[in-house]
Structure formats: C-alpha cells, structure tokens
Amino acid sequence: SQQGEEDPQALSIQEGENATMNCSYKTSINNLQWYRQNSGRGLVHLILIRSNEREKHSGRLRVTLDTSKKSSSLLITASRAADTASYFCATVPYGNNRLAFGKGNQVVVIP
Amino acid sequence: ETGVTQSPTHLIKTRGQQVTLRCSSQSGHNTVSWYQQALGQGPQFIFQYYREEENGRGNFPPRFSGLQFPNYSSELNVNALELDDSALYLCASRTGGMGYGYTFGSGTRLTVV
C-alpha cells in the first residue's frame, strides 16, 4: 500500500522560482528518498535522507525530514524548464527492505 | 543516464495470456525490485530479489512471479493476464544495503486487451 502522501499534487511555477513539495508517511522509517519521473518513464533517484538526519542538500535540492511529524519536504531552488516532471517520495519502512511510494507531485516549470 | 535496461518497451497482450518482462541490471547490483505503476499513481512494490532469492513481496497474487540470474538480469512473469494488469512495469536495482538509492529502468508499458 502507498505510504507517502505528497502535497500539493500539482504545482505550476515560473522558471527561476523555487518549488516546494511535502510528503507525509505513517510508520517508522529507515530512510526517505525522492525520485523524479519524466513523462511516465523510469524514475531517477534524486536524494536519500536517513532517519537520523534532519536536512540534506544536493545541488539545487534541499530535503528536510521531521520524524516527529512523519513528514519531509523537497525544495528545488531556481527552477528550470527541465525540472518539469513528477516527483515522488518513497520511504523504506523500518525493518523492511522495499520502497513505499506516494502518489506523486506534478511540477510544471514555465519558461 | 540509467544502467538498468528493460525489454520490451511496449507490449500488448490479450486477457488470459502470459507475459515475461526482462531487466538487465548493472554489474554488482545484487538487489533487484519490480514495481507496477498504474496511470497517475505511484509505483507499487511487487517483489524483490537478493542474490537470486526472493526476500520481499508486496500485495500481488501468485500469478506474479520472478527470477533473478547470476548475471544481474531478472524476469517478471505474469500468468492469466487481466485487464487491470495494464500498467508500466519498472525494474530497479541497487548495490549495497537499504541505505542506498535504486537505479530504475525506463519500464515496460504493458497493455492487456
């Protein structure tokens, strides 16, 4: 069953603006990962944050994790048209070895 | 960009038929997972293999089965296809433990008519 729940579901922004997506989950986790998917094809791993980490950066990406609220956020700074995609959060539940995906967040960056 | 190759890219089958989807992972990626993604939804975990043994299974019936081979390739077999099996099937692999991200293939789009 889906564990992650992203909010908002769809986001439309101008190029250069920042995009923020949120994800909530229900159970204890080992780590949380964010993936990008273009046009219904394969997913690309963006960033992984462990349960004992609170914030992580990778290029223009910033991920936060609040295990007390069971939530995470993904911030894309200075967005580009090429960032147009669906973004999924996925948890690795504690004691489990699978990815549990949310429903995804569609982001459209207008040039 | 991806080191995981899936074949075929697209496939149309008739209800009741059987299908085999294939995945070739990067060398050293001894963990492979398969996911089903319906249109507009997130991927759903089907099962996972580690060193040719199944070590996790999602909420899918036994007509979904798989194999992993020593050369880092794997298969997903689906028997008695149903219309609801129409989806994008994704293969994902990784090296190391659960603290690592997965590399996904581009998927196989299966349509059951």
pLDDT tens profile B3-56:
899 999 999 999 999 999 999 998 888 899 999 999 989 999 999 999 999 999
Q: Is A50 on the interface with B (CB under 8 A)?
A: yes
Radius of gyration of chain A (CA): 13
3-class DSSP state for residue B12?
strand
Query: Mean pLDDT, to the nearest integer, of A58-71?
Result: 96
Q: Is it the case that residue A95 has pLDDT exceeding 70?
A: yes
What per-residue confidence (pLDDT) applies to B1? 40
Tokens of B70: 């020593």
Q: End-to-end distance of chain B based on CA atoms, in angstroms? A: 32
Q: Which of B39, B42, B106 sits opposite A102 (nearest CB)?
A: B42
Q: In sequence order, which residues have a C-beta less than 8 Å from that of residue B96 and are 6 or more positions away?
A: none
Q: Could you tell me where the beta strands, DSSP code E, fall in chain B?
A: 5-7, 10-13, 19-24, 31-37, 44-50, 53-57, 64-68, 73-78, 87-94, 103-104, 108-112
Give the pLDDT band of residue A1 (cuts 50, 70, 90).
very low
| A34 and A97 Cβ atoms separated by less than 8 Å | no
DSSP assignment string, A14-64:
ETTS-EEEEEE-SS-EEEEEEEEESTTS-EEEEEEEETT-SEEEETTEEEE
Stronger pLDDT, B99 or A71, i.e. the higher one: A71
Name the closest residue on chain A to residue B87, using Cα atoms: A40
Whole-number average pLDDT of chain B: 93
* Residue type for position B54: E
Residue B42 and residue A2: Cβ atoms within 8 Å? Answer: yes
Query: Mean pLDDT, to the nearest integer, of A59-87?
Result: 96
What per-residue confidence (pLDDT) applies to A3? 52
Q: Which chain B residues touch A34 with a CB distance below 8 Å?
A: none
Identify the DSSP state of B8. Answer: -
Residue A101 and residue B43: Cβ atoms within 8 Å? Answer: yes
3-class DSSP state for residue B80?
coil
Answer whether the bond into residue B61 is a cis peptide, omega within 30°: no
Q: Is B21 on the interface with A (CB under 8 A)?
A: no
Residue A99 and residue B45: Cβ atoms within 8 Å? Answer: yes
Residue A48 and residue B101: Cβ atoms within 8 Å? Answer: yes
What per-residue confidence (pLDDT) applies to A19? 94
Looking at the DSSP bridge assignments, the partners of residue B67 are B75
Q: Is B42 on the interface with A (CB under 8 A)?
A: yes
CA distance B85 to chain A (A): 16
Q: Checking DSSP bridges between strand B44-50 and strand B53-57, what pairing results, if any?
A: antiparallel
Q: Is it the case that residue A9 has pLDDT exceeding 80?
A: no
Tokens of B26: 């990067």
Tens digits of residue pLDDT in B74-96? 999 999 999 999 999 999 999 87
Q: Is B53 on the interface with A (CB under 8 A)?
A: no
